[in-house]
Amino acid sequence: MHRAWALGVLLLCGTAHAQQPSEIWRCIDADGRRHYTNAKKETVGMKCELVTSEINVAPPLSQPRTPQGFPRESPRQSVSARERQREILEGELTTERESLNQAKQALAEQEAVRSGDERNYARVQERLQPFKDAIQNHEKNIQALQRELGNLK
């Protein structure tokens, strides 16, 4: 608690003398408590060491200004951007649908294959699981792309 108070005093002293460099002393009194001060006369009778000889206080931050010539998007540019975005999403949707059809075809081919060591149904399911996961992933991607296209209206 003493440190927080001392730091507050330091900051207050620093803002009051922002233009003038001052010395900051860290002192330990007879009871072993730590004190900070910028007044040399307060260090008498205490064990002190110089912490810093200059305090630099930053000026207050100003609000950023938007330049007058700052580019703004016209309604025509906004429509054009949405059209480009729609074209990109529709292209991705077409690609995902093709990938989904290929994944379904690969799963059908793998379901038709039976090897001699797969007498156990669990082994068949284990072998087919990556193909099912691929289908599920493509279906989720298609749903997400359809949502994005719906949000463009």
Mean pLDDT of 83-112: 93
H/E segment holding residue 128: helix 121-151
Angle subtended at Cα 107 by Cα 102 and Cα 110, rounded to the nearest 5 degrees: 125
83 and 139: one domain?
A: yes
Q: What is the tally of structural domains in the chain?
A: 2
Residues 145, 96: Cα–Cα separation, whole Å? 9
Residue 140: per-residue pLDDT? 96
Evaluate whether residue 6 is within a structural domain: yes
Residue 91: per-residue pLDDT? 95
* 89 Cβ contact list (under 8 Å, min separation 6): 145, 148, 149, 152
* Domain range for 99: 75-151
106 and 144: one domain?
A: yes
Query: Is the confidence at residue 143, as pLDDT, over 90?
Result: yes
Alpha carbon of 30 to those of 25, 51, 58, 92, 95: distances in Å? 16, 19, 35, 76, 79
Residues 148, 141: Cα–Cα separation, whole Å? 11
Query: Is the confidence at residue 112, as pLDDT, over 80?
Result: yes
Alpha carbon of 74 to those of 78, 87, 153: distances in Å? 6, 20, 18
Mean pLDDT, the chain, as a whole number?
A: 80
Evaluate whether residue 124 is within a structural domain: yes
Burial class of residue 88 in the structure, from the number of CB atoms within 10 Å of its CB (0-12 exposed, 13-18 middle, 19+ buried)? exposed
Residue 142: per-residue pLDDT? 95
Contact 37/43 with Cβ under 8 angstroms? yes
Query: Is the confidence at residue 75, as pLDDT, over 70?
Result: yes
Query: Is the confidence at residue 115, as pLDDT, over 90?
Result: no
Residue 71: per-residue pLDDT? 73
Mean pLDDT of 115-131: 81
136 and 91: one domain?
A: yes
Is 58 or 133 the better-scoring residue by pLDDT?
Answer: 133
- Match 């608690």 to its residue by tokens: 1
Query: Lowest-pLDDT range, 16-20, 43-47, 103-107, 111-115?
Result: 16-20
Query: Is the confidence at residue 6, as pLDDT, over 60?
Result: no
Residue 21: pLDDT band by 50, 70, 90 thresholds? low
Evaluate whether residue 59 is within a structural domain: no
